[in-house]
């Protein structure tokens, strides 16, 4: 696909894109680029005050809607209010934070990154006409999901392992959704993306000495959030992006560079495990898919 950039985004006039966590970082850069290409963007955010700053920069094509992925009641309310969209981008997330619980008692990382987006996608999928893009991370490589203890109630909590688990869950969900959509002959597709190593507000929230090193590394090694958003933008807009494919940067072992097809841990292709994660996610959220 060559050196794909924002200049290659097709005209998005008349299209509506919902972006979770669009108040900062990757989500904000994604929203700005899509709006610049003509799209109407819905900034679906918990922090609506920060979203207002982004919306003012974008202009009249931006709409703010409150969405707290750590509260399934908020997810349901958002889904009820959404009239429709062409694209849903499951972007929001938390990384390596201390053990905390969502409103429904889920581990905050699995609950926000995976279960909240799982529930949101299930509820709004009938209203999405084109594609769903779910963000994973290269950290999915370290995920070893325990289906018997998704929410770290039986094990000693390990914040980086929990993050890796949630990102593996994102990848497995995106791939499983793609297969189920294809099997149901749906016109909607599911794609997955990751930003490589991009400087965002996601880093530096672990509450440990690691935050110091991450903040330094952000300044020295990381690419910009705008560059990190390119794989998401490609997955969300390119006519060449295909159902079930994982996209990410193509240089420096997937850390930097123009977007392309990304390698991934083949555990994500374990159909039996993916089915188990899907079933567990439906049970925990008490929300079922129509595919």
At 210, is the secondary structure helix, strand, or coil?
Answer: helix
Q: pLDDT per residue over 171-225, tens digit each?
A: 999 999 999 999 999 999 999 999 999 877 664 555 554 554 444 444 445 689 9
Active site residue 163: yes
For the purposes of burial, counting CB atoms within 10 Å of the CB of 100, is it exposed (0-12), middle (13-18) or buried (19 or more)? middle
Residue 238: what pLDDT?
Answer: 98
Residue 214: what pLDDT?
Answer: 46
What percentage of the chain reaches a pLDDT higher than 70? 91
- Sign (positive/negative) of CA torsion 287, 160, 136, 183? negative
Q: Which position among 157, 163, 197, 234 bears the catalytic label?
A: 163
Q: Buried b vs exposed e over 137-169: b needs ≥16 C-beta within 10 Å?
A: bbbbeebebeeeebbbeeeeeebebbbbbbbbb
One CATH from 3.40.50.720, 3.40.50.300, 3.10.20.30, 3.40.50.1980 for 6-283: 3.40.50.720
Q: Is the predicted pLDDT of residue 14 greater than 80, yes or no?
A: yes
Residue 219: what pLDDT?
Answer: 45
Helix and strand totals (H; E) in the chain? 10, 8
Mean predicted confidence (pLDDT) in 151-178: 98
Residue 189: what pLDDT?
Answer: 98
**Domain segments of the chain as ranges:** 6-283
Mean pLDDT, the chain, integer? 93
Tell me the CB-side half-sphere exposure of residue 40, using CA atoms within 13 A: 9
Per-residue pLDDT band at 255 (split at 50, 70, 90): confident
What percentage of the chain reaches a pLDDT higher than 90? 87
Q: Record the pTM.
A: 0.92
The answer to whether 196 touches 257, Cβ cutoff 8 Å, is yes
Mean predicted confidence (pLDDT) in 139-166: 97
Q: pLDDT per residue over 64-103, tens digit each?
A: 999 999 999 999 999 999 999 999 999 999 999 999 999 9
């Amino acid at each position: 696909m060559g050196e794909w950039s924002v200049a290659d985004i097709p005209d998005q006039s008349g299209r509506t894109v919902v972006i979770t966590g669009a108040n900062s970082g990757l989500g904000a850069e994604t929203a700005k680029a899509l709006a610049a290409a003509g799209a109407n963007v819905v900034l679906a955010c918990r922090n609506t005050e920060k979203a207002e700053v982004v919306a003012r920069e974008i202009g009249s094509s931006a709409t703010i809607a409150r969405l707290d992925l750590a509260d399934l009641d908020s997810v349901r309310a958002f889904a009820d209010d959404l009239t429709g969209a062409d694209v849903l981008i499951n972007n929001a997330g938390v990384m390596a934070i201390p053990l905390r619980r969502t409103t429904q008692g889920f581990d905050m990382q699995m609950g926000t990154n995976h279960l909240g987006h799982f529930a949101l996608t299930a509820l709004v999928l009938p209203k999405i006409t084109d594609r769903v893009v779910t963000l994973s991370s290269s950290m999915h490589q370290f995920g070893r999901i325990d289906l018997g203890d998704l929410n770290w109630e039986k094990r000693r909590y390990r914040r980086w392992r929990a993050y890796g688990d949630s990102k593996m869950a994102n990848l497995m969900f995106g791939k499983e959704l793609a297969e189920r959509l294809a099997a149901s002959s749906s016109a909607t597709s599911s794609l997955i993306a990751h930003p490589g190593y991009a400087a965002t507000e996601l880093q530096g929230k672990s509450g440990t000495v690691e935050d110091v090193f991450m903040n330094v590394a952000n300044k020295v090694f990381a690419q910009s959030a705008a560059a990190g958003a390119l794989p998401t933008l490609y997955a969300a807009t390119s006519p060449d992006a295909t159902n079930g494919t994982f996209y990410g940067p193509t240089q420096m072992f997937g850390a930097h560079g123009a977007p392309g097809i990304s390698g991934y841990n083949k555990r994500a292709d374990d159909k039996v495990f993916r089915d188990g994660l899907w079933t567990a996610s439906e049970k925990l959220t008490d929300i079922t898919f129509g595919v």
